[in-house]
Structure 1
Amino acid sequence: MEHYDVMIVGGGPAGSTLAWALRNSGKRILILDKADFPRDKTCAGWVTPAVAESLQLDLDDYRRDHVLQPITRFRIGMMGQPAVDNDHGDNPVSYGIRRCEFDTYLLDRVESANKVLKTPVKDIRRDGGNWIINDTYQAPLLVGAGGHFCPVARQLGDGPGSHETVVAAKEVEFEMTPEQAENCAASGDQPELWFCRDLKGYAWVFRKGSFLNIGLGREDNHKLTDHLEAFVQEMKDQGRIPADLPGRFKGHAYLLYAHAERPLVDDGILLIGDAAGLAYTQSGEGIRPAIESALLAAETIRRASDMSAQSLQRYGDAIADRFGRRAMPEQEGWQLPGWVKTSVASGLMRSHWFTRKVVTEKWFLHQDVPPLKVAV
């Protein structure tokens, strides 16, 4: 049996950031993931300057070998009506990345942890004060960082198949041929966000260098494919995307912070990132919440006198302080607050002020929230 102080299930941005933040703690850390890295992780994929600062990323170093698409403009619209183009100035307000590269970069820089990849978690059990995985690894603290379907979430009585409202998304990312790139009107420095007319989701077109990402996310999964097909056809008809798209769109799911009910801690157990259901309610973005939850978890682990739920509750309190108290709204709908879901929504989506100051800068970029800085 291999003994550790902390076992992290999931080597994505949340899990790798937690291990990186604990690098000087003296703790023995294990990262397990069922995938090998680089892994195929389709994601619209952008990181704000706040995320780069929290991660202490050297952007010049990163861009040498990886896609780092500066974003200075956004195109916002409601399907079926003209879009609004907003220019945010010369300095990038965000950066487009490819998750297969970004996740590997973050994991590779963790040199103080043992990494066991291509290893599914088949069994988790509690024995005294330790958690045991696959009858091989044990530790007093188990951290779930494996996304929406993380097996650690099930240990807290929640997880796949729960009653929580789940957002489902389908997307594709591919490298365009020169002919496709020539026939693609989407611009790399300007992601396109298109809201569904019922405001229960939105679609996007995002060009990152020679790569193109197209997708759509909604609450009601049974209508997802119909909405996606209609959106893709509309974009093709407008010449925004190439007519010949490759392969099938890949699906994934996540929980929005205000709608999730997953507990975050218990004795010897803690959830971060999408495993905890932390995606921003207005946008569905999960990278910044994943990074920040990992940093807050690391601070809690460093200070904890033991791994009891009482000691770990500091993390739950820190999440509430950072992201607000969770509340389940009575009405369905995930992207926009109730006051927007009226006949004025169509007009608001044609407003330069609203689409820039509210939709883009507040809901998607969270420019009003300063970067999270904790001791690491």
Structure 2
Amino acid sequence: MDYYDLIIIGAGPAGSTLARALQDSGKRILIIDKQAFPRDKTCAGWVTPAVMDELKIDLDDYNTGRTLQPIRRFRIGMMGQDAVENDHGAIVSFGIRRCEFDAYLLDRVSSPKALGTPVKSIVRKGANWVINETWEAPLIVGAGGHFCPVARLLGDGPGRHETVVAAKEAEFEMTAEQASVCEARGDTPELWFCRDLKGYAWVFRKGNYLNVGLGREDNHKLTDHLEAFVKEMKAYGRIPDTVPGRFKGHAYLLYAHAERPLVDDGILLIGDSAGLAYTQSGEGIRPAIESALMAADVIRKAEDCSASSLQVYGDAIAARFGNRAAEDEDGWQVPEWMKLALASPLMRSHWFTRKVVTEKWFLHQGVPLLASAV
């Protein structure tokens, strides 16, 4: 049996950030992930300058041999309407490929790694946890996304108020012919909101790579909405006629409606396993990074691995992202017809699509950097 002070399950951005933040702590850390890296990860794939700053990524270094698409504009619209294009006048985000980004972050970590290793068992043994009858630690951190096996230890899955967003997308490298007819521009991601406001789709070009996808709250209609969107984008020339037919799916929880506990005795959840995706946009990379940095601070200072000692992390998450909103569900709600009536003209407004949709909901420009950024 190999003993560690901390075992992190999930080697994505949250898990790798936590391990790197604790590299000089003297703690023995193991990272486990069911996949080998680089891995194929479904994600639209853009990160804000704030994420790059919090991770202290040298942009010139990252851009060497990897995709780093500067973003200066956004095209935003409601399906069936003309889009509004806004020029932000500066780089407000970067397009990345998750297979490259995740591997880059993990390569910066010196801790031992068990990659390509599914977690088959997690068993409590006294004050410790035993993983796969091989590794033992008093603290395990769930960083394995929505279906993280550590998260399953803290409950029976999503509660009745939790909003699980299901998404499907495809990312592929365009041929020269496809690139020549694709009207989507690399510095201008396109966001298209469903008319019932239950989700949105996107077209995102990153050099010769194109990412097309759609996410919704009601996943039983997801495929129909995606097919209709792809057909419309092809008709308008936004994407080539020959988009690969295979779209990959994934799911995540929206922060304001998630009910998952964040800590228990010897357990802590970060990133998507904790349900931290921004409620308005579903973007999860910045919350994943910041939750990992906050968890590192708590782990450094905690007297032990009890739930009472780790609860400081839960308090820090609430202070940073706000309190969960599930308890407010019984309050007065805006009728659906009113939402639709208001949304249609708003999505034609340059001010609303720029100041609210892009800068507030998707870029979170008013949110200062986390003080504990590595």
TM-score interval, normalised by the smaller of the two chains:
over 0.9
Letter in 2 for 1:155: L
The alignment-based identity, stated in percent, is: 76
Q: Secondary structure at the match of 1:275?
A: helix
Alignment of 1:310-321 (within 5 A): 310-321=308-319
- In the aligned structure 2, how far is the partner of 1:155 from the partner of 1:167? 21
In the TM superposition, residue 339 of structure 1 has moved relative to its aligned partner by 11
Tell me how far 1:45 sits from its aligned partner: 0.5
Deviates more, 1:242-251 or 1:261-270: 242-251
Match of 1:250 among 228, 240, 248: 248
Alignment of 1:93 with 2:92, yes or no, is yes
Deviation at 1:246, TM superposition (A): 1.5
- The letter for the 2-side match of 1:222 is H
Which residue identity does 1:27 align to in structure 2?
Answer: K
Residues 41-91 of structure 1 show CA distances to partners (whole Å, capped at 9, x for unaligned) of: 0210111010001001111100011100000000000000000000000x2
Q: Distance in 1 between matches of 2:241 and 2:67?
A: 24
Q: 1:128 to 1:66 in 2, by over 3 A?
A: same
Instruction: Identify if the C-alpha distance between structure 1 residues 63 and 375 changes in structure 2 by more than 3 Å, giving closer, same or farther.
Output: closer
Is residue 5 of structure 1 aligned with residue 5 of structure 2? yes
Which residue in 1 is equivalent to 2:298? 300
> 5+ unaligned residues in a row in structure 1: which ranges?
none
Structure 1 residue 115: deviation in Å? 0.2
**1:204 match:** 202
Per the alignment, in what secondary structure is the counterpart of residue 300 of structure 2? helix
Alignment-mate amino acid for residue 82 of structure 2:
P
Q: Deviations over 1:299-326 (max 9, x none)?
A: 0000101111011001000000000000
- TM-score if structure 1 supplies the norm length? 0.96
Give the Cα separation in 1 of the matches to 2:337 and 2:363: 21
SS of the counterpart of 2:19? helix
Q: Is 1:35 equivalent to 2:46 in the alignment?
A: no
**How does the TM-score come out when normalised to structure 2?**
0.96
| Equivalent-residue separation in structure 2 for 1:368 and 1:134 (angstroms) | 44
Distance between the aligned counterparts of 1:146 and 1:339, measured in 2? 38
Task: State how far apart, in whole Å, the 2-side matches of 1:285 and 1:107 are.
Answer: 20
Q: In structure 1, what residue type is equivalent to 2:59?
A: L
| Aligned-residue offset at 1:162 | 5.1
* Structure 2 partner of 1:359: 357
In the alignment, residue 72 of structure 2 is paired with which amino acid? T
Equivalent residue for 2:133, pick from 132, 135, 153:
135
Q: Any conservation in 2 of the 1:279–1:286 contact (CA below 8 Å)?
A: yes
- Displacement after TM superposition at 1:165 (Å): 2.4
Amino acid at match of 1:31: I
> Where in structure 2 are there 5+ consecutive unaligned residues?
none
Tell me, in whole angstroms, the C-alpha distance in 1 between the residues paired with 2:224 and 2:214. 11
1:181 aligns with 2:179: yes
Deviation at 1:330, TM superposition (A): 3.0
Q: Secondary structure at the match of 1:146?
A: coil
8 Å CA contact retained: 2:159, 2:259: no
Aligned pairs for 1:1-376 within 5 A:
1-89=1-89, 91-111=90-110, 113-159=111-157, 163=160, 164-328=162-326, 330=329, 341-374=339-372, 376=374
Identify if the C-alpha distance between structure 1 residues 331 and 353 changes in structure 2 by more than 3 Å, giving closer, same or farther: farther
Q: Answer whether contact 2:78 2:192 (CA < 8 A) is retained.
A: yes
- CA shift at 1:157, angstroms? 1.4
Question: Could you say if the C-alpha distance between residues 340 and 126 of structure 1 is closer, same or farther in structure 2, counting changes exceeding 3 Å?
Answer: farther
What's the offset of the Cα at 1:372?
1.1
Cα deviation for residue 344 of structure 1 reads 1.6
Deviation at residue 371 of structure 1 after TM alignment: 1.3
Q: CA RMSD in A?
A: 1.6
Shift of the alpha carbon at 1:247?
Answer: 3.6
SS of aligned partner of 1:325: coil
CA distance in 1, matches of 2:335, 2:268: 30
Alignment coverage as a number of residue pairs: 370
Equivalents in 2 of 1:182, 1:267: separation in Å? 56
Offset at residue 198 of structure 1 (A): 0.3
Are the aligned partners of 1:158 and 1:262 in contact in 2 as well (CA < 8 Å)? no
Aligned residue type for 1:69: Q
Contact 2:54 2:373 in 1 (8 A): no
